[in-house]
Structure 1
Amino acid sequence: MTITTAVLITGTSSGIGRATAERLARRPDLAVYATARHVETLDDLARAGARILPLDVTDEASMRAAVDVVEAAHGAVGVLINNAGYGTYGTIEETDLDAVRTQFETNVFGLARMTQLVLPGMRAAGVGRIVNVGSMGGRLVFPVGGYYHASKYAVEALTDALRFEVAPFGVKVSLIEPGLIRTAFSAAVAGTLAKSATPSGPYAGLNASADQQMADGYGSDLLTASADAVAKVIEKAALAARPRARYLITPAAKFLVHTRQLLGSRVFDAYLRKQFRSDAAPLSLSPLKIYR
C-alpha cells in the first residue's frame, strides 16, 4: 500500500464505522474518507484527520458522487469498507415488509452498489481491497431476527462470490463477522422489536423474551467487545498482505457459530424452545443465550 491509498468507509456516524475511521485516520499512509448521511455528525473525525463526505447507501446519486470525489483525487478507491447497516427485528408474520425492504436497501443493495461503483477503478489499477462488515448473524439464526439474519446471510453469499470473481484482477475481499459489540445497535434493535407487535398479539411473549435476552447479552462485558476491537480486525483485513476470507470476532461468537454447526437443527431448535419462553427466568450469562 502506498501513501496515496484511499480508504472509503460507509456508515461512520457511530459504532464500528466510527471506530474504524478513527483508527485508520491515524495512519500516515492512508487517506481516509469517512461518510454518513448527515456529515455534521463527523466533525470529530475531521479533526482526527479523516476526510468527510456525505453518503447515503440507499441513494444512487449520493453513492456515485462519493466515489467520484475519491477517484478524482486518487485515481481509484484503494480500500472500500462496506460498514453501513442496521437491524430491524420482529417475527416473520408481523414485521412490516416496507421496513424489511428498507433494511435490505441498506444492508444488501447499498453494499452491492458501492462495490459495483468502485470495482472498475480497482480493476484498472490492478489492486484493491473490499471489506464487508457482516455479522455472526449471517452464520446462524435466532427467532424474531429472521429478516435481519436474511440480510446478513445475503452479505455472506455476495462476499463469497465476489472474492472469487475479482481475485484475477488483484482485488482481495474479506468478510468481518462480529458477535455482540458494545454500540448503539442493541438499543436500536430493541426499539424496532418492541414496535413489531401489539402487547396482546400472538408473539408478545416471544418478543418480550427476546428483548430480555438482548438486554442481558449486550449488557455483559464478558460476552461483548468494543467497537475498536472490530476496527482493529478491519484494519488487518484492509492492509494485510494475505487477508483472510473471514474474520469471526469475539470468543462468544466463535462458540455460538461452531456449536450451532455441531448441534444440528433439531437440537438447536429444542434449545431455543427452552430459552425463548414467555415465562422464562432471567437468563444467566451463557454464550448460547445472546445474539446479534
Structure 2
Amino acid sequence: MTKTVLVTGASSGIGQATAIYMAQKGYKVYGAARRIEKMQELKEYGIQPIALDIISDDSVVACVDKVLDETGSVDILINSAGLGSYGALEDVPIAEAKKQLEINLFGVARLIQLVLPGMREKKYGKIVNISSVGGKVGLPMGSWYHASKFAIEGLSDSLRNEVRQFGVDVIVIEPGGTKSEMTTIGADDMMRVSGNTVYGKLAAAIGKMYSSMEKNAVDPIVIAKLIKKGIEAKHPRTRYIGGTMAKPMLFIRKVLSDKLFDKMLMSQMK
C-alpha cells in the first residue's frame, strides 16, 4: 500500500527537494508551507500543496485534517519547516526569539501530536525531525536558532522512547552546509539586528564565514536521499548526518573539550 507523506517547509530547500524526491519514488506526498504560491510547481510531480502557517494552531489542524480526510492517514511526517534568525542574544528582541521557537519547536511538536493517534492505531509511523549540526554545536550570533535545534534533539530522544512501543520510529536528520535561502536570509537578519551594535565586528566575521560555507554547500537532494534512507530502513538509526562539514564538525565537537573547541571555532571568525 502506498504510504502518505506530509512534508513541511516544502516551498524551498530541503523540504522542497524531499517532497519531490519522495514523490518520484512512489510515495503519496503532501507538501505544506506558508507560501502556497511557491509550491505550484510541485503539482507537476503529483504533489498536493497545502497552505500551512506553522505558528497558527488552526492552520496546523486544518493541514493535518485535509490529509486525513483525503487519505485516511499520515504515515510519514517530515518536519522540515524552520527559521534561521540570527543576532547577538543581547540584541534580539524576545518577540523574535519566541517566533523562532514557535516555528522550530512548538510547531513541530503540535504536528506530531496531531499525527500520532493515527500512527498508533495503525502501529506504523515515521516521524522525521530536521535538526542541524547546529543542534549539537552552538555558534555565536545564533543563540535562539541553536536553542531551538538543541531542543529538537532532546524532544526527539524523549519521544522516540515513548512511541517505539506503538511501532513508530523517530528519526533525527542533522544537516551540515546545505544550499538554502535560509542561510542568506539568516545572514542578512544578523546584520540587521547586530551589524551596527557592539557586536558588529563579530557579526561581519560570521557573515563572511557563512558566505564561504554557502559556496561549498551540498544540494538539498543529498539530505532528501538521507531522509529516504532513514524512512526505509528496517531498523533506522536515531540520527543521520550529511552535508558539508557535518561529520567532521560533530567529530571535533565530540573529542575536544569545550574550551579547545571554542578556541578552534573562534579562530575561523577573523
CA distance in 2, matches of 1:128, 1:202: 48
Q: Deviations over 1:57-83 (max 9, x none)?
A: 111111111111111222221000001
Find the counterpart in structure 2 of residue 25 from structure 1. Answer: 23
Q: Distance in 1 between matches of 2:244 and 2:41?
A: 31
Task: Note the residue ranges of structure 2 that are not aligned, 5 or more in a row.
Answer: none
| Aligned counterpart, 1:290 | none
**Cα deviation digits, residues 82-124 of structure 1 (max 9, x gap):** 0100111111111121111111100000000000000011111
Q: Map 1:1-292; keep pairs closer than 5 Å.
A: 2-3=1-2, 5-28=3-26, 30-199=27-196, 201-220=197-216, 224-250=217-243, 252-276=245-269, 280=270
Greater alpha carbon shift after TM alignment, 133-142 vs 232-241: 232-241
> Percent of aligned pairs with the same residue?
39
Q: Distance in 2 between matches of 1:274 and 1:257?
A: 17
Find the aligned partners of 2:229 and 2:199 in 1 and give their Cα distance: 42
Change (3 A) 1:18 1:251: closer
2:89 alignment partner, SS class: coil
Q: Distance in 1 between matches of 2:147 and 2:233?
A: 29
Say if 1:206 and 1:251 are closer, same or farther in 2 by CA, change over 3 A: closer
Query: CA–CA distance in 2 between the matches of 1:94 and 1:149?
Result: 16
Give 3-state SS (helix, strand or coil) of 2:256's partner.
helix
Deviations 1:220-253 (A, max 9, x none): 2xxx211000001111222222211100113611
Seen in structure 2, the aligned counterparts of structure 1 residues 143 and 198 have a Cα distance that, compared at 3 Å, is: closer
- Pick the structure with more helix per residue: 2
Question: C-alpha displacement at 1:198, in angstroms?
Answer: 4.9
- Give the aligned CA root-mean-square deviation in angstroms: 1.2
For normalisation by structure 1, the TM-score amounts to 0.89
Aligned structure 1 segments of 4 or more residues deviating by more than 6 angstroms: none
Q: Max radius of gyration: which structure?
A: 1
Secondary structure of the corresponding residue to residue 116 of structure 1: helix
Q: Deviations over 1:238-282 (max 9, x none)?
A: 222221110011361110111012111111122234333xxx3xx
